[in-house]
A and B are shown apart, each in its own frame.
Chain A
Amino acid sequence: MTMADLLKAEGIAQDPAPQFDADPLAAKQPHFAARAKHCIYIYLEGGPSQMDLYDPKPTLNRLDGQALPESLLKNMQFAFLQKETARIMGTPRKFAKHGECGMDFSDLLPHLATCADDLCMIRSVHSDQFNHVPAQLLMNCGSAIAGRPSMGSWLCYGLGSESRDLPAYVSLVTTGRGIPGGSASWSSGFLPSSYSGVLFGNEGETVNNIRNPAGITPHLQKSSVDFINDLNRLRTADTGDSELASRIKAYELAFRLQSSTPELTDLSGETQATLDMYGFDRKEPKINSNRGGKGLFRAFAYNCLLARRMIERGVRTVNVIHSSWDHHSRLDPELAHNCEMADQPIAALIKDLKQRGLLEDTLVIIGSEFGRTPLGENRPGYKKVTGRDHHPGAFTILMAGGGIKPGCVFGESDEIGWSVQQNPVHVHDLHATVLHLFGLDHTRLTHRVQGRDFRLTDVAGRVVQEILT
């Protein structure tokens, strides 16, 4: 009788005892029926300005140059802004309504605007953190304290992998200025590293160490792996260690990963029309910028297309990350430049997923760690006020597909976009909703560390039923 049998006979174990050599990424059943199977999380790092993109505030232009009433400023903290002398800053952007649903977009996002009827726009997101790293950790890992697993890691932990040959979780990073939190945004935190996002770089750079050392052909690699596994099998007999079976599997998977990655990144099967839709060969306008948004038009388009190709091949979660949207100064030219880079490929991705029938079970999220202030940033040393400071009080996030109500605008910020007026959605609520779409109950998806059950939503979170179909 094994220990598991014994436990069952005693009526102690309802579930079979854990398999000690079990594949951590084996597909698992969700808690209840899932709406989404895959997630593409487009993360525009730094805090894009919501009132210049998604959330029209005519009052803002009317009050341009005026001080904010003291009651609003009380208890507020800013990174740089000097409360006493700060003034409201209007926007030169023109907003218009799009789609049958009549969703507002500014003139900086003409392509995304054509997806209005597929998108859900939440204008009432709020966060607790106003510095980049804590806010990014909260948005991506559910806690401002470092060391927690990212959302994608939780999804893989809860559901396992559907791909035999590719990682379950990939981060496509279009390196601009660098991400403040580094790899924490796709780290597995206290979960085993098997649940960590695998970093792909700018165009053409995939998994670290995927290429054989110079001179080693796939054939040589294959016979090496076979020999390694032959000897590993011999050792299994000597040691009786079932962990060796996992090691053997890992070598087989590593070789398959090497064989399948070239196919993944080989775009020769894509039509010119597809490449054009994503904007592969766009001409990049000149800009005098130090924020690292330069020279990335093609790389960003490539990563958006690659995200679709990964979803097609069963990858669970893809992060598409670009930095930086942190416009403390020169917001107008730099935001315009970033939008010109990102707008077309993101819109193409949504349309492409839809026309291939993938949007139905792919959840697309477009977000950041916070928004920006309605006040112009007047930090000491600035000659002119040309940008906005960090603002976690009310900002906008877009979602599409995977069980999200299309053509829906949810939540309102107040007249000038200072705080949430209606239907607040906290970061924890967003996470609860995302897990829910994947058939996971955010209160039950837990991992025990240091004597405590941790979850993505800490001790909070409400599923935002109103934005679900």
Chain B
Amino acid sequence: MPMVFRIALLLILSLPVCAAAAEPPDFAQEVLPILSAHCFACHGPDTEVREAGLRLDVRQDAIRELDSGVAAIVPGSADESELIQRLFTSDEFSQMPPPETGKSLTAQEKEILKRWVEDGAPYAEHWSFQPVQRATPPRVSGDAWSRNEIDHFVLARLQSAGMSPSPPASPQTLIRRLHLDLVGLPPSFADVQRFVSDPSDQAYERIVDELLASEHFGERWGRHWLDLARYADSNGYLGDELRPDAWRYRDWVIAAINNDMPYDEFTIEQIAGDLLEDATMSQQIATGFHSNAMKNTEAGVDKEADRVIQTVDRLSTVGAIWLGLTVGCAECHTHKFDPITHQEFYQLYAFFNNLESKKLVLGYRDGKSESPKEIEKREQQLQKLVNRIRRQEELLGPAQSALLDQFLVTLDKPTSRRTESEKEALEHWLADLQTDTNKLLTEYESLSHQRPEPVEIVAQGMQESRKQRKTHIHYRGDFRQPTQQVYPATPQFLPPLEKRQEVADRLDLARWLVQPNHPLTSRTAANHLWQHLFQEGLFRTEENLGVAGDPPTHPELLDWLASELVKNGWSRKALIKTIALSATYRQSSRMTAELQQRDPENLLLGRQFRCRLEGEIIRDLALSSAGQLNPEIGGPSIRPPMNKRLTSISRNQGWDVSKGDEKYRRGLYILFRRATPFPMLTTFDSPDSTSSCPSREFSNSPLQSLALLNDPVFFECAQQLGNLVSQPELVEGDAWIELAFHRTLSRAPSQEEMRLAQAFHADLLHSLEKSKTADLQAIVLKPVPELSLQQQAARVLFVRSLMNLDEFITRE
């Protein structure tokens, strides 16, 4: 797909160029993608696998005479260039790429390389490694469409392809789009009506401002960030122990985004908040970013192996988010495409090699209060029990007695605080003991757990360990085979790092990432914001700005956005506002026959995107439509009802459903356990939190339909909404149908829809005549006297259908 995409992109971007075939090809846009996809794996930066001593990613090497006496590239002469000869030959022994690789170039690709060589084989640095260039937005004569600079770039590109932008979306669609994009909650119908009656620019801008100021903005955009930060509420692996305090980092993200914390600060605090001078508690909580790595606590695990995996994960995550590079590829060998050597990988690794977790104590909660008499009584009982246990025959002798002491300490701990290996050891020890002894120990355990204890309020952060370990290159990525020692440093091809001291540290690295001339950070950040206001980023391999990634569809626009972000003090809200105010954003998402034919993938942005919403947001929509949503922000994660058997497949089996209206809170607060993620979320493609996720999948499956139709949470929403449209004033006529449409789709039904709705309703009433009273009662949550049970059940089923519409779960 990406390759096909790239060809399509090249074609469409160079349509006018194609006509004049004499034009030499552009290295970065046209030549490099071909070389990278077909040649670099064997003739690239990695010395270990380099074939025939030929390196094609550096010009000097590519034009050098090889041992065989020929040169791969002789600038200006395709006939003398071995590379070109071998591309065009039909001899399977000298053909390149070799047939067994399964790779082959198309006629057009071969032609591009040939013309490039004849043009003198000029090289240029990969586009994203070059400094950000703020171009003057192109002016198109007679432009009555553009609202800001973004539109100039988009319009110029559309016009050069002979296309024009789509008309603006209707006010109804536009306000719903804004609400869903900025806060992830639907507008009320009153909001919609107000905007429809005054769809002026001022009104539009006011809505944008209100939404940016809403606290729900931080939830919506915080969740995008949590995808990148691979946030979860558990360790993963065997025990999948909960991280009961992980939400403090999640709440830090929400607050930071709500406060529009500048992206440079936001970066520094997460990567190195602990190293800031007089780091505040909040800055330390930000380092919980690194704590999100999975952790293997299986009894008997090789702890060093796991620590190395976590360290690589931390580096890869930083590389993916800020650099947009697949740094992790260089763990075992020099990167095949990007200029990151094996050594440079471990120099980056060295920045993270001395991280250790730090328990941040935020305060204390009181345990339950007891009289000294009660305490004394319990302690005496406990002592008596211990004495009886000690007298058990199998526990006599110094070795056994020492073991007993050790396990009594474990028993004193609440089960949730025991480590996996403690649990495992205890279980085996108990299994070997007599029933009587077991009984006494159980008695001891339950009594001991009645002791009150002051409870620490904690968050998980990270810090540098006092004892610094040395970093070595791991031969082929195996930490058991350390070779040369290395020190923290950044890759050569990027701007130089400024160190505060002799040895660079994480804080230097974080500041280096956000220095204004860094070519990658502002581009990845701007693209990330763009991506969530359209469906796709301006470079569509969101995770890869490197040589193997797709080139941007609008390189000048991307750079303009990147420089705008830096110019505005890294304010993300400001850039989001600029994008939301653009005419490009406000276009209709309607796919016309012409667009389908000319640009089905919307590479030129001649329309908005129409895309399914994320699982969390779909849940929020259902709860909002039903008037059930509990809008509280932050706090410990929640557990909505779910089938017990779905959690029983893992070792961490408990799932105590949240009480009261806690269970009606937004989807991003659902406890995310890595071994058994909440099924509704995975069904709708939530990331699995194993590694940084720059863009979600948006699949379409029958399991999604079943969730919306039958999941108890969604059905309860239908029941509640059914109740809302059964109120006394709505008994007569079709007003209840109107209200159901308003609440679910933020719009009124069309005539055709009303006709279908009435027919469906009549059909339901007819079918429900045969239903037993008990069945009707099961469907209707809160019967009202004004309507029969059949009538109310029909309304529940009707609104349930509306909440299953594609439009309901789609941002248009």
- Identify the A interface with B (CB < 8 A): 1-3, 6-7, 10-14, 17-18, 20, 24, 77-80, 130-134, 145-147, 173, 175, 177-184, 187, 189, 192-194, 196, 198-199, 201-202, 205, 207-217, 219-221, 223-225, 227-228, 230-232, 234-235, 238-244, 246-247, 250-251, 253-254, 257-258, 290, 328-330, 379-384, 389-390, 443-444, 448-452
Contact = CB atoms under 8 A, between A and B. Distances in A.
Contacts of A131: 238, 296, 298, 300-302
B549 to A, nearest CB: 6
Contact of A79 (B239, B301, B707): B301
Interface stretch (B1-9, B215-223, B253-261, B369-377): B1-9
Contact of B688 (A147, A258, A450): A147
A328 B706 CA distance: 42
B610 A183 contact: no
A166 B691 CA distance: 31
Interface residues of B, number: 119
Nearest to A132: B238
Contact of B296 (A133, A182, A329): A133
Q: Which of B298, B320, B703, B797 has the most CB of A within 10 A?
A: B703
Contacts of B599: 3
Contacts of B58: none
A464 B82 CA distance: 39
A221 B685 CA distance: 25
A3 B594 CA distance: 11
Interface string B149-171: 00000000000000000000000
Nearest to A328: B428
Contact of B701 (A11, A182, A194): A194
A187 B302 CA distance: 25
A215 B779 contact: yes
A250 B767 contact: no
Closest 4 CB pairs of A and B: A79-B300, A182-B675, A240-B591, A147-B690
B709 A221 contact: yes
A3 B8 contact: yes
Contacts of B329: 451-452
B428 A13 contact: no
A225 B494 CA distance: 56
B243 to A, nearest CB: 16
A183 B675 CA distance: 6
Interface of B: 1-2, 4, 7-8, 11-12, 102, 106-109, 236-240, 294, 296, 298-302, 309, 320, 326, 329, 337, 394, 403, 406, 425, 427-429, 431-432, 541, 543-544, 546, 548-549, 589-593, 595-601, 610, 612, 643, 645-646, 648-653, 673-677, 679, 682-683, 685, 688, 690-691, 697, 699-707, 709-712, 715, 750, 752-753, 756, 760, 763-764, 767-768, 771, 774-779, 793, 797, 800-801, 804-807, 812
A79 B299 contact: yes
Given A208-B706, A227-B760, A240-B596, A193 B711 contact: no
Contact of B771 (A194, A213, A215): A215
Given A182-B240, A254-B705, A443-B102, A133 B302 contact: no
A212 B710 contact: yes
Chain A's interface: helix, strand, loop or mixed, by majority?
A: loop
A263 B239 CA distance: 37
Contacts of A199: 646, 649
Nearest to B697: A192
Contacts of B589: 239, 241
Contacts of B712: 213
B651 A20 contact: no
Contacts of B800: 224
Given A3-B600, A208-B646, A253-B702, A182 B300 contact: no
Contacts of B771: 215, 217
B797 A220 contact: yes
Given A79-B299, A209-B711, A235-B806, 13 more contacts: A11-B107, A13-B4, A131-B296, A145-B690, A177-B651, A182-B649, A193-B699, A217-B775, A258-B706, A329-B428, A449-B543, A451-B329, A451-B548
Contact of A147 (B299, B309, B549, B691): B691
A201 B296 CA distance: 27
B805 A235 contact: yes
A228 B706 CA distance: 13
Contacts of A246: 700
Contacts of B302: 77, 130-131
B801 A257 contact: no
A179 B604 CA distance: 48
Nearest to A288: B431
A250 B778 contact: no
A231 B300 contact: no
Contacts of A184: 675, 688
Contacts of A384: 432
A130 B296 CA distance: 13
A209 B589 CA distance: 32
Q: Which of B296, B679, B793, B801 has the most CB of A within 10 A?
A: B801
Given A12-B107, A329-B431, A247 B300 contact: no
A146 B812 contact: no
Nearest to B230: A147
Given A10-B11, A179-B649, A451-B544, A290 B431 contact: yes
24 contacts: A7-B11, A18-B1, A77-B302, A130-B300, A182-B650, A193-B683, A193-B685, A201-B645, A208-B703, A209-B703, A209-B707, A219-B767, A220-B768, A223-B764, A224-B804, A230-B756, A230-B760, A231-B807, A232-B806, A241-B591, A290-B427, A448-B1, A451-B541, A451-B546
Nearest to A211: B710
Contacts of A179: 649-651
A234 B753 contact: yes
Contact of A20 (B431, B595, B600): B600
Contacts of A443: 102
Contacts of B546: 451
Nearest to B403: A381
A227 B548 contact: no
A24 B700 CA distance: 9
Contacts of A134: 296
Contacts of A231: 753, 756, 801, 805, 807
A24 to B, nearest CB: 7
B382 to A, nearest CB: 23
Nearest to A1: B597
Given A224-B709, A230-B756, A178 B649 contact: yes
Contacts of B648: 175, 178
Contact of A242 (B541, B591, B592): B591
A78 B753 CA distance: 67
Q: Which of A251, A389, A443 has the most CB of B within 10 A?
A: A251
A290 B756 CA distance: 58
Contact of B715 (A11, A146, A213, A238): A213
A379 B712 CA distance: 46
B535 to A, nearest CB: 11
Contacts of A146: 236, 294, 674, 688, 690-691
Nearest to A447: B1
A337 to B, nearest CB: 14
Given A24-B699, A223-B764, A228 B801 contact: yes
B14 to A, nearest CB: 12
B240 to A, nearest CB: 6
A7 B807 contact: no
A247 B808 CA distance: 12
Contact of A238 (B590, B601, B683, B801): B590
B760 A239 contact: no
Contacts of A225: 709
B805 A257 contact: no
Nearest to A321: B649
A381 B432 CA distance: 10
Q: Which of A80, A178, A205 has the most CB of B within 10 A?
A: A178
Nearest to A10: B108
A182 B591 contact: no
